[in-house]
Amino acid sequence: MTTKPPLRIGCAAGFSGDRTDAAGPVVDALIASGGPAVLIFETLAERTLALAQLARRTDPDGGYEPLLDDILRPVLARCVAANVRIVSNFGAANPAGAARRIAALASELGVRMPRIAVVEGDDLSGPAQRPLIAGVADGLAVVSANAYLGAEAIADALLAGAEIVVCGRVSDPSLAVGPALAHFGWQRDDWDRLARATMAGHLLECGSQVSGGYYADPGVKDVPGMAQLGYPIAEIDADGHCTITKPPGTGGRIDAHTVKEQLLYEVHDPAAYLTPDVVADISEAEVTELGPDRVRLSGVRGHPRPSSLKVNVCHETGWLAEGEISYAGVRAEARARLAVDVLRERLAGAGPLRADLIGVTSVFGDDAGRWLAEQPLGDARDVRVRVALKHTDRAQAERLLREVTALYCCGPAGGGGVRTALRPRLGTVSCLVPREAVPAHHRFVEGGQE
């Protein structure tokens, strides 16, 4: 096990909708390294799966990452030719559908057909699995229910010869733990090594965040070349320690500061970071700058994994109506506030109205409107009114759209640029289920055929 060469894992997406040109420089760097390499895409947030399930209602063959073609087309041929394996959760609500689309894309590009595996078991929204979420989901219009799976099924697929592994809901760090587990042949209760690989995956999972994205603050935390941020690469050794870097010639920065910010991101307890694979302990971790854009993480320890898995249940909660209108020039803020007063009176009884004056107060406002009402009238000359209403009844929500539009003639002087939108709202509740009740497995989709 200790004679295995380091494994390089590059991440080219941190969420659904991330930059679609990020993978090219990462793949170039992985191939240039000449050693074993894996490319991961992390494309699921907490409600992305619910949106994917809603998409399947109109397109049963859909429900996977909508940008799948855009992120894979530029790099698929090079990854297959250079034996850079691809692991991702871009399967979302339909991993098999994503696998079929990847096979079709390979055919379109004239690429040798890769061996594609799908990881299944996370979807608990079916009738057979409904007892597992009873109590939490009772009375809810469930859209999706998915358990956070760990790395073992990913590792099994890679050990069985998969070149591309398509997952639905797995824990974000598991996208890196699975390849490391397969490559190094660690025991599956080697908690220290699993914890180190988990934190390597944690540093990668948000894509460019560790290389300066979501970090920059001009004059305080400057980041060069943000328009061409380099996405991260983790060099993992046989003991699980990692060095974080990025492709040469790309923008951004990787240093002790960016790594520490990402290391602590969404970690509720540094001594007990719970994942499906291990409980990671970073309370004595060390972050060391080895050189420009090269930072080593060491000192991570691990403890036995939890006996339960987390499940997110997304459900329908009604409708969200939004409307906007602009006021500019002398006394613009006064006219904007009058518009809000008109809307509050017209929509009285429909439910709490959220009103923001963009340019005056929006981020620090509150749904009850108290904050805005307590602020003295200012002299802002460029104000965008944004109002929002949530309601279980679509007809009631649609009233807001009509009332905002009516401000053209029925509101204060000089209003313009009305925009309105109506969309369904989703709520999320979480629960724990016994690990043994959610068996994960992989299967191959050969040439697009199941």
What is 216-247 written as a DSSP string? -BTTTB--TTGGGBPPPEEEE-TTS-EEEE--
What's the CA gap between 270 and 344, in Å, rounded?
45
| Amino acid letter for position 140 | L
Residues 6+ apart with CB under 8 A from 84: 27, 30, 31, 37, 38, 39, 78
Q: How do 286-291 and 242-245 pair as beta strands?
A: unpaired
pLDDT for the residue 364? 72
Within 8 A by CB and 6+ apart from 167, the residues are 87, 88, 89, 91, 95, 118, 119, 122, 149, 153, 154, 175
What domains are defined for the chain? 7-122+148-307+437-445 (no CATH), 313-430 (3.30.70.1120)
CA dist 450 and 441 (Å) reads 15
Tell me which H or E stretch contains 7: strand 7-11
398 sits in which H/E element? helix 394-410
Beta-strand relationship, 85-88 and 382-391: unpaired
Q: 149 near 171, Cβ under 8 Å?
A: yes
Tell which phi-psi region holds residue 282, choosing left (phi > 0), alpha (psi between -120 and 50) or beta. Answer: alpha
Cα–Cα distance measured from residue 39 to residue 23, given in angstroms and rounded to the nearest whole number: 8
Count other C-beta atoms under 10 Å from residue 285's C-beta.
18
Strand partners, 385: 325, 357
Which of these, 326, 232, 323, 318, lies nearest to 25 by C-alpha position? Answer: 232
Q: Facing residues of 316 across strands? A: 426
Q: Buried b vs exposed e over 356-379: b needs ≥16 C-beta within 10 Å?
A: bbbbbbeeebeeebeebeeeeeee
Contact status, residue 64 vs residue 90, Cβ threshold 8 Å? yes
Q: Rounded to an integer, what distance in angstroms lies between the CA atom of residue 124 and that of residue 147? A: 7
Find tokens 């073992």 and name the residue. 152
Tokens (6 digits) for 86: 């691809």
Question: Which secondary structure element, helix H or strand E, spans residue 50, and what is its range?
Answer: helix 48-58
Q: Show the CA angle centred on residue 83, arms to residues 80 and 99, nearest 5°.
A: 45
Is the distance from CB of 295 to CB of 244 less than 8 angstroms?
yes
CA 277 to chain centre: 19
Residues contacting 112, CB < 8 A, separation 6+: 80, 81, 106
CA atoms of 387 and 155, how far apart (whole Å):
48
Q: Residues 121, 122, 123, 129: is their CA dihedral positive or negative?
A: positive
Return the SS3 of 275.
coil
| Rounded Cα gap, residues 230 and 374, in angstroms | 45
Q: State which amino acid sits at residue 119.
A: V
Give the pairing type, strands 279-281 and 416-434. unpaired
Identify the pLDDT of residue 1.
47
The closest of 61, 122, 114, 60 to 89, measured between CA atoms, is: 122
Walk along the chain (450 residues) and give the pLDDT tens digit of each residue.
Answer: 458 999 999 999 999 999 999 999 999 999 999 999 999 999 998 888 889 999 998 999 999 999 999 999 999 999 999 999 999 999 999 999 999 999 999 999 999 999 999 999 999 998 999 899 988 998 999 999 999 999 999 999 999 999 999 999 999 999 999 999 999 999 999 999 999 999 999 999 999 999 999 999 999 999 999 999 999 999 999 999 999 999 999 999 999 999 999 999 999 999 999 999 999 999 999 999 999 999 999 999 999 999 999 999 999 999 999 999 999 999 999 999 999 999 999 999 898 899 999 988 777 767 666 666 777 788 888 999 999 999 999 999 999 999 999 999 999 999 999 999 999 999 999 999 999 999 999 999 976 555
Smallest CA-to-CA distance from 173 within 153, 194, 157 is with 194
β-bridge mates for residue 86, sequence order = 39, 164
Structural contact between residues 309 and 149, judged by C-beta atoms closer than 8 angstroms: yes
* Dist. CA 131–CA 361, nearest whole Å: 46
SS3 content of the chain, % helix, strand, coil (to 5): 30, 30, 40
